Structure 1
Amino acid sequence: MTETRLPVALVVVIDAILVAVFCVIGRLSHAEGVFSDIPGLLGTIWPFLVAVLAAHAVLLLRRTSADRLLPGVVIWAVTVVVGLVLRALSGQGTALAFMIVATLTLALFLIGWRAIVALVRRVRGRVRS
Structure 2
Amino acid sequence: MLRFLGALVGDVLAVVLFVAIGLLQHHEPLTGTSLFAVAWTFLVGLILGHLAAQSWRRPFALWPQGVCIWAITLVAAMALRTLFQQGTEVSFVIVTAAVLAVFMLGWRAIASFVTRGERREIIDAADLPGTSVR
Query: Would the TM-score normalized by the shorter structure come out above 0.5?
Result: yes
For 1:50, the equivalent position in structure 2 comes to: 44
Are the structure 2 counterparts of residues 63 and 25 from structure 1 closer, same or farther at C-alpha, using a change threshold of 3 Å?
closer
> Take 1:122 and 1:39, find their aligned partners in 2: how far apart are those partners?
39
TM-score, normalising length: structure 2 = 0.79
Larger radius of gyration: 2
Contact 2:16 2:35 in 1 (8 A): no
Contact 2:74/2:97, CA 8 A, preserved across alignment:
yes
Count, aligned residues: 118
- Give the CA RMSD over aligned residues: 2.0
Alignment match of 1:24 (pick from 6, 9, 20): 20
Shift of 1:122: 3.0
Moved more, 82-91 or 63-72: 63-72
Q: Distance in 2 between matches of 1:42 and 1:73?
A: 24
CA contact (8 A) 1:59 1:66 kept: no
Gaps of 5+ in 2: 120-134
**Which has the larger helix fraction?**
1
TM-score by length of 1: 0.82
Please state how far the C-alpha of 1:33 moved relative to its aligned partner: 1.1
Please list every run of at least 4 consecutive aligned residues from structure 1 whose deviation after the TM superposition is greater than 6 angstroms.
Answer: none
